[in-house]
Amino acid sequence: MFTELIQKEKLIAVVGLGYVGLPLALEMAKHFRVIGFDINQERIALMQKGIDPTRELDSTAFQNVDITFTANATDLEQAHFFIVAVPTDIDEHKVPNLIPLQRASLSVGKALKPGDYVVFESTVYPGCTEEDCAPILEEHSGLKVVQDFKIGYSPERINPGDKTRTLPNILKIVSGCDDETLSTISRVYGRIIDAGIYEASTIKVAEAAKVIENIQRDLNISLVNELAIIFDKMDIDTNAVLAAAGTKWNFHRYAPGLVGGHCIGVDPYYLLHKARQLGIEPQVIAAGRRINDSMPVWVAKNLVQTLLQKGKNPSTSKVLVMGITFKEDVADIRNSKVVDLVKELMTYSIHVHIVDPCASPNEVAHEYQLSLSEGTSKDYDAILVAVAHQQYKALSFEYFQSISRNGLILFDLKGLYPHCKSLATTYWTL
């Protein structure tokens, strides 16, 4: 298979062209013939023009690559090596939503031929590839896994907004249903990954490794968030505490904050779901999720209490929220906890203005029924800086004061403006 792929006698298909799939497809297309498939025709039209809908890649990434973008599922029949990189999120009950993965498996299953390979990159719980996806592939292809076609799992490690740790510079975990499959998958990914390949012993090990990477981060952040809640009550500067503790050689520094996005805020629920199916009720993982999910409400209540303490009626107050993406310097608004914070403020009838230089107003309106303001006014009762966008870092006390009324109330969630602490009427940070 590898020889035929590298000689471009056979094609690779990447299914799902979002933050994970598009960079992967373009890197593969530097060495192989690639079909880039996505069900969203509008996104495909942009990519055909050399435009990344996620705004992570510039037009040069589309140059000198052997790739065909399509929204036609029948085009997948041309491929022999499939990589599935569709999103895996959770529903309103925090239960894994496997519908995109199931639909992608169905489309690939219809295109499968004897000898083909299917590699999944979507984050899942251990066992999902073999127990949930493989049967769909078998049903719609009429073939048998291992015997007629091969499957593998290679967890994505894309870090949106990171221009240093790009795909080729991140070590890649690969796994396969047997030794031959593992070797082939390893060789294919080895063509595009400079940082090296780690061959996991089984598919389940690779799936589990991915999900606990983000669970570990989630738990560490939940600890400092809980500390921030405690220290706030004690009138102690959390960041000062972390700086002092960080002088010890084995102290690991994490910052408090809103934990959103499509990784840390989602992946723990996949392992929770699988554990509960097995009759296990995880205590530590669930506690970390409860703390991090509760942070937007806690921050909103602090802001409301501050308004009341300063003699301002929340129902007649105007608050500016700066930043709505899930992290700095990206356009991604998926599972943004700033949205939860904004909606909590609105329950107090606060008039909330939202600005963000990176987010798409259309996407924000479509996903959350919220409107981004084109600019700022001059009469805010409080300003809350929620995301550490590069464009925000140089803002001065004078700027914040110029758009405030009756004294500056500045909620600096990321600790960007410590110089404002002694100047503002109220300065608050996590």
Give the residue numbers marked as catalytic: 263
Q: How far apart are CA 36 and CA 25, in angstroms?
A: 6
Q: Is 357 exposed, middle or buried (0-12, 13-18, 19+ CB in 10 A)?
A: middle
Query: C-alpha 430: how far from its chain's center?
Result: 22
β strands within 211-350, DSSP E: 318-322
Nearest to 1 by CA among 182, 198, 203, 202: 182
Helix/strand/coil for 73: helix
CB 354 within 8 A of CB 318: no
Facing residues of 3 across strands? none
Strands 426-428 and 409-412: parallel
Strands 96-97 and 89-90: antiparallel
Q: What is the dihedral of CA 419, 421, 423, 427, to 10 degrees?
A: 130
CB 90 within 8 A of CB 96: yes
Instruction: Please name the residue that has the structure tokens 């107090």.
Output: 348
Q: How far apart are CA 18 and CA 88, in angstroms?
A: 12
Amino acid at 327: K
Output 125-128 pairs: Cβ under 8 A, ≥24 positions apart. 125/96, 125/207, 125/211, 125/270, 125/271, 125/273, 125/274, 126/204, 126/205, 126/207, 126/208, 126/211, 126/271, 126/274, 127/204, 127/207, 127/274, 128/98, 128/101, 128/207
CB 119 within 8 A of CB 24: no
CA distances from 143 to 21, 101, 114, 293 (A): 26, 19, 7, 43
Q: How far apart are CA 48 and CA 40, in angstroms?
A: 13
Taking the alpha carbons at both ends of the chain, their separation in whole angstroms is 53
